[in-house]
């Protein structure tokens, strides 16, 4: 670690150092504060080009109509007082730019789909129980070599890496050749497949653990958590492979989704969202285990998540995670439907991310006038 820190600072003269810009989080807070202050304002006419404040170098003159209550943050009340001589807002806590409003809208819009990855990350964080399971099973590949109990997670990484290679180098080229045009799975489809696979992984985990526990009882090792069963630990490999594939689909799909749907000015947030999901998932995983332990150990009973996995019911715990994963998958379908198209309709995406341009605003005003006529 010390060597890493030293190398980081030694290479400092080689870095491309950009001047610090305004904090996005501060901008989001300003939009919410100003929108609340202006909550009683009336919206200007649709074809009013000078009613909304926008940056001088931008051709976006009006916000989109989704999450319309936030649009009041960029309404100009008094041009003489609100706008400075250089075209910027005199007080950013009284007037925001259209671009700020649209950035906050973009973040709010992706948050529901972001939240669907938390349950999958909770499932992936179940590292201690598979280690205990593997320790109680036959881990020999040959008479002289056995896989360490803590190394079975490598099958997760192997399946993830193999899928990424096959997807880019074999599956997509083959599908494109058959279709006669470039083919690519949409990010929402990949995220959905990943969430389905994590449901399957938890169900397989529960079935394998149930079989392991029944064998433990038959062999008389219920009170001996250190006993090694006559059951191969390779039975744990399918659940690791399914989790690896789930991560390949959902994690990579989510990252691409954030980068493609958020404005370029929010690329740092796009990079941080998946990591934030992992942090939240790790915290919630501890909460779930604590709740299960508290509920199942009442009345002096053996906890499902007991340190003696032979007496515990890890299989039932896995079934709980399976049910949560299925509910999460249904929640994902609702979020994906509510989000609408992404990636395959650039025109709509541009409006959704950036706001309305002058010509689009004029067309909107014309349509409304015709409707009134």
In the chain, domain spans: 26-105+345-373, 116-342
DSSP state of 87: S
- pLDDT for position 66: 85
Residue 224 has pLDDT above 70, yes or no: yes
pLDDT tens for 35-58 read 999 888 888 876 666 688 888 777
Whether 355 shows a pLDDT value over 80: the answer reads no
Residue that wins the pLDDT comparison between 200 and 177? 200
Three-state DSSP class for 227? coil
pTM of the predicted structure, to 2 decimals: 0.83
Which of 32-46, 55-69, 166-180 shows the lowest per-residue confidence on average (mean pLDDT)?
55-69
Highest mean pLDDT among 22-36, 119-133, 188-202, 212-226: 188-202
Using the predicted structure, report yes or no on whether residue 345 has a pLDDT greater than 50: no
Using the predicted structure, report yes or no on whether residue 346 has a pLDDT greater than 60. Answer: no
What is the distance between the alpha carbons of residues 253 and 249, in angstroms, rounded to a whole number? 6
Residue 342 in contact with residue 261, Cβ under 8 Å? yes
pLDDT at residue 46, as a whole number: 66
Lowest-confidence segment of 141-145, 171-175, 360-364 by average pLDDT: 360-364
DSSP one-letter code for 41:
P
Answer yes or no: are the C-beta atoms of 191 and 249 closer than 8 Å. Answer: yes
**Three-state DSSP class for residue 306:** coil
Choose between 111 and 48: higher pLDDT: 111
Between 78 and 118, residue with greater pLDDT:
118
Q: Are 115 and 334 in contact (CB under 8 A)?
A: no
Whether the per-residue pLDDT at 180 is higher than 70: the answer is yes
Nearest C-alpha neighbor of 321 from the set 200, 240, 235, 211? 200
List the Cα angle 268/244/181 in 5-degree steps.
Answer: 75
- Residue 353: pLDDT over 80: no
Q: What is the mean pLDDT of residues 207-231?
A: 89
Q: Which two tokens stand for residue 116?
A: 């669907």
Mean pLDDT check: name the lowest of 79-88, 112-121, 140-149: 79-88
Among residues of the chain, what percentage have pLDDT more than 70? 89
How much is the pLDDT for 185? Answer: 83
The 10s digit of each residue's pLDDT in 273-328 is: 988 999 999 999 999 999 999 999 888 888 998 888 888 899 999 999 999 999 99
Residue 184 has pLDDT above 60, yes or no: yes
Q: From CA 69, how far away is CA 41, in angstroms rounded?
A: 10
For residues 239 and 56, what is the distance between their CA atoms, to the nearest angstrom?
Answer: 55
Please, what is the average pLDDT of the chain? Answer: 84
C-alpha span between 353 and 106 (Å, rounded): 6
Angle between helix axes 346-354 and 98-115 (nearest 10 degrees) is 110
pLDDT at 29 over 90: yes
Query: How many whole angstroms separate alpha carbon 254 and alpha carbon 188?
Result: 8
Cα 264 from Cα 147, distance rounded (Å):
45
pLDDT for res 356 = 55
> Does residue 60 carry a pLDDT above 80?
no
Quote the distance between the C-alpha of residue 92 and its chain's center: 31
pLDDT given for residue 12 in this prediction: 83
Contact 47, 358 (CB under 8 A): no
> Measured between alpha carbons, how far is residue 18 from residues 96, 256, 265 in Å?
24, 25, 14
pLDDT of residue 47: 62
- Of 233-242, 247-256, 261-270, the poorest mean pLDDT is in 261-270
Element (H, E) at 369: helix 358-372
Q: Is the pLDDT at 70 greater than 80, yes or no? A: yes
Indicate the fold that domain 116-342 takes in CATH: Growth Hormone; Chain: A; (1.20.1250)
């Amino acid at each position: 670690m010390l060597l890493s820190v030293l190398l980081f600072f030694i290479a400092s003269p080689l870095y491309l150092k950009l001047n610090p810009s305004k904090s996005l989080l501060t901008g989001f807070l300003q939009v919410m504060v100003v929108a609340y202050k202006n909550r009683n304002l009336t919206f200007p006419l649709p074809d009013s080009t000078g009613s909304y404040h926008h940056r001088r170098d931008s051709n976006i003159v009006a916000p989109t109509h989704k999450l319309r209550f936030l649009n009041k943050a960029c309404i100009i009340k008094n041009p003489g007082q609100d706008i400075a001589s250089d075209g910027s807002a005199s007080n950013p806590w009284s007037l925001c730019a259209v671009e700020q409003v649209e950035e906050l809208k973009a973040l709010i819009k992706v948050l529901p789909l972001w939240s669907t990855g938390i349950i999958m990350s909770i499932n992936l964080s179940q590292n201690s129980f598979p280690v205990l399971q593997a320790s109680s099973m036959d881990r020999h590949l040959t008479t002289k070599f056995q896989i360490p109990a803590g190394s079975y997670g490598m099958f997760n990484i192997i399946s993830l890496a193999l899928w990424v290679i096959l997807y880019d180098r074999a599956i997509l080229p083959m599908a494109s050749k058959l279709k006669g045009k470039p083919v690519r799975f949409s990010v929402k489809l990949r995220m959905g497949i990943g969430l389905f696979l994590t449901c399957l992984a938890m169900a397989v985990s529960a079935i394998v653990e149930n079989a392991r526990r029944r064998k433990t009882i038959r062999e008389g090792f219920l009170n001996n958590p250190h006993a090694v069963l006559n059951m191969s630990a390779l039975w744990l490999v399918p659940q690791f492979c399914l989790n690896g594939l789930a991560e390949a689909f959902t994690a990579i799909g989510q990252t691409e989704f954030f980068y493609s749907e958020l404005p370029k000015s929010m690329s740092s947030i796009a990079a941080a969202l998946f990591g934030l999901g992992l942090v939240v998932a790790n915290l919630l995983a501890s909460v779930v285990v604590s709740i299960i332990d508290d509920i199942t150990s009442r009345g002096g009973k053996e906890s499902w998540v007991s340190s003696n996995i032979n007496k515990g019911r890890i299989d039932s715990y896995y079934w709980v995670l399976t049910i949560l994963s299925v509910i999460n998958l249904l929640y994902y379908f609702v979020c994906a439907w509510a989000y609408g198209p992404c990636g395959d309709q650039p025109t709509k995406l541009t409006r959704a991310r950036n706001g309305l341009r002058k010509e689009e605003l004029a067309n909107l005003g014309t349509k409304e006038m015709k409707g009134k006529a």
